[in-house]
Amino acid sequence: MQAIAITILPLLVPLGYWLALMIIILWGGLAWNKRQGWCHAKQTNWHDDGFLLALLLGVGTVEIMAGALHGSLRQALPLAAAAWLGAVALIMTRAVHPRPSAWWAGLALSGLGVGGWAVWQKIGVGLTRATGHPPLHSIFFGNLSLLTALLCLVGLGWAWQQQSTKFLWVALLLGGSVGGCLASALSGSRGGWLVLPLAVWVFYRSYMYRWQPKWRWLGMCFVFTVIVLVYVTPQSGVEKRMDKAVAEVRQYIDGTDYGSVGARLEMYRGALWLIWERPFLGYGHQGYQTAMQELEVRGVISPKLGNYWHAHNDLLDAWVRRGGPGLLMVLCLYLVPLLRFLPGLRAENPIHRSFSASGVLLVISFMSFGLSYSFFAYPAGIALYTIWLIFLWVQVSGKASQNC
């Protein structure tokens, strides 16, 4: 139930990320009777979980401190709540012992769902770009759909170990991957595609390097062919969006004009200017936009860029609005899970390796997404990253013993 909820609800149901968090906590609470709770407290590897628990509590605390310091508690509370509820969800996930098969089934169904929904929006409704339920607009929807597709591909390593049902699982996960890729392409979100070279490296380190050389090269050629086909297919819009991005960079460098890419580069320059002025305390959630508008008046940045409320880059946004502690928390959200998951890419157990690879993909995907958009500026971004991270963290670190 838990794993199905956290994979399907966030992308397909309005406010599904909050609903998924609540289901984790409530479902865990039902399993947490007096005897189980005592058993759990004794058997759980708190040395492993303590790092993640402290990190999630720290993220929420930094948000509240920044909100109190800069008079923006109203904006900080939902972000802190997502992190703190994630800390509770970590404990409750240990109590339930979620089944791995539910995770892969949920991802596959989610991929199929977003793919079908994106096609309907594009063909049936006539939208220019497929999108999700607010606040999961096209950028969120496309990038998270791409992540779903990549995770489905990683799940093939798990599916191949399922003996009599492996071909069913392989077909289901391949379908989910195709659906997720389709939704990403139809959303027109370009920033997420930066993760693809890193994703290829993860697949190589976790699976392909074990293959015979001829199969390894065939696999690499297949991946390259799929990427080229998606790029040159006019209906996908990928080539058009990429050409537009290159043109916008040239225009920004020449100083003639700027599109969405040039606007981001200009916002980064403005954020760095503000960070230089106030590197430790930041400007707060509300103060950032006011400070950017002042830079606009002074002619430091181009007109109209002071209208954006976040910096469109997770590291810069955390630093400029929450100060040094905010930057540290985002770095820890990346590095702590990476240190936990990376060794598992070489694990002999293929099931353990598939969950480790999923964890690495989750982190590097959010790192890549965060280069061109501030995912952690939204409660949805923190909540979804947290609940997927928790499940994979628990699977990789092992289940607590159920025998008291």
- Find tokens 């997404």 and name the residue: 369
Looking up tokens 């005592």, which residue turns up? 38
pTM value surpassing 0.85: yes
Mean pLDDT of the region 255-270 = 78
* Closest-CA residue to 262 (of 273, 253, 274, 272): 253
Taking the C-alpha atoms of residue 183 and residue 175, their distance in angstroms, rounded to an integer, is 12
Q: In the chain, where are the structural domains located?
A: 2-33+45-231+313-397, 241-278+285-307
Distances in Å between the alpha carbon of 33 and those of 37, 174, 337?
6, 39, 30
Choose the weakest-confidence range: 17-26, 70-79, 175-184, 261-270. Answer: 261-270
Mean local confidence (pLDDT), 300-314: 84
Q: Which tens digit of pLDDT belongs to each residue from 163-193? A: 888 899 999 999 999 999 899 988 888 777 8
Going by C-alpha positions, the residue among 239, 131, 218, 230 that lies closest to residue 181 is: 230
**How would you label 135-145 residue by residue, b for 16+ Cβ within 10 Å and e otherwise?**
ebebbbbbbbb
Q: What are the tens digits of pLDDT across the range 198-224? A: 998 898 888 877 766 766 677 667 667
Q: Measured between alpha carbons, how far is 276 from 282 in angstroms, rounded to an integer?
A: 10
Distance, in Å, from the CA atom of 40 to the CA atom of 394, rounded to the nearest integer, reads 13
Residue 385 has pLDDT above 80, yes or no: yes
Amino acid at site 263: A
Nearest to 336 by CA among 49, 15, 42: 49
- State percent of the chain over pLDDT 90: 51
- pLDDT: is 207 or 276 the higher one? 276
Q: What is the CA radius of gyration of the chain?
A: 22
